[in-house]
Amino acid sequence: MRTISAFGACLVVLAWPAWAQDTEERLAASRAAAGQLTQQLGAELRKELAAGGPVGAIGVCRNVAPEIAGKLSRQMGARVARVSLKTRNPLLGTPDAWEQQMLADFDRRAAAGDKPETLEVFEVASEPAGRYFRYLKAIPVQPLCLACHGTPETIAAEVKERIAQDYPHDRATGYSLGQIRGAVTIKQRVAE
């Protein structure tokens, strides 16, 4: 059994508030960035749905969402993205092992009655490449999502055609209101 010297214990106690403050600041910044991404994307989608319908909105998720995430990534010095267990664009939306585990947990929690809009998780994780602050915020299926992510019976033929053209490996359909479409993910390196 290891024991901590009195000096070592004092260092841990003195360092703890700085670590906690750093984590709280990262959490607040992550929540703000996730909110900004979903709000900006939602506004762009509503605008395009009104102007060009669901077919035009496909371009918003394909082009505008990565631009918003890229801008937030540069501002935060972190990776900001959207991921899902059922990807539409596997190059941009495939979750890593941690994200897969958390998304599966979100699905279990939502099925047990937790409200999808409240689901989030964060931690400082040690990985082979270093330590990272990890954050995941669920993206619940909204009514406007169903035009492109609903069941095959409810998606219009021209939308299906455009999705097949733009996303030949699409798996992001079959959703209903209240399910979890995916999540905003944030990964930021933490000093050793």
User: What are the domain boundaries of the chain?
Assistant: 7-190
Going from the C-alpha of 79 to that of each of 73, 119, 120, the distances in angstroms are 5, 20, 17
Residue 139: what are its φ and ψ, rounded to 5°?
-110, 105
Alpha-carbon span 87 to 92, nearest angstrom: 9
DSSP element (H, E) containing 121: strand 120-127
Q: Which residue has the tokens 């999705």?
A: 163
Alpha-carbon span 23 to 19, nearest angstrom: 6
User: pLDDT tens digits, residue range 73-102?
Assistant: 999 999 999 999 999 999 889 999 999 999
Alpha-carbon span 173 to 86, nearest angstrom: 8
Q: Which of 28, 190, 31 is nearest to 124 (CA)?
A: 190
The residues, ordered by sequence, that sit 6+ positions from 50 with a Cβ below 8 Å of its Cβ are none
User: pLDDT tens digits, residue range 126-179?
Assistant: 999 999 999 999 999 999 899 999 999 999 999 999 999 999 999 999 999 989
DSSP state for residue 142 in the 8-state scheme: P
Alpha-carbon span 182 to 138, nearest angstrom: 6
pLDDT at 5: 39
User: pLDDT tens digits, residue range 94-125?
Assistant: 999 999 999 999 999 999 999 999 999 999 99
pLDDT at 191: 83
Q: Which of 103, 64, 61, 70 is nearest to 86 (CA)?
A: 103
* Torsional sign, CA 8, 9, 14, 16: positive
Alpha-carbon span 127 to 124, nearest angstrom: 10
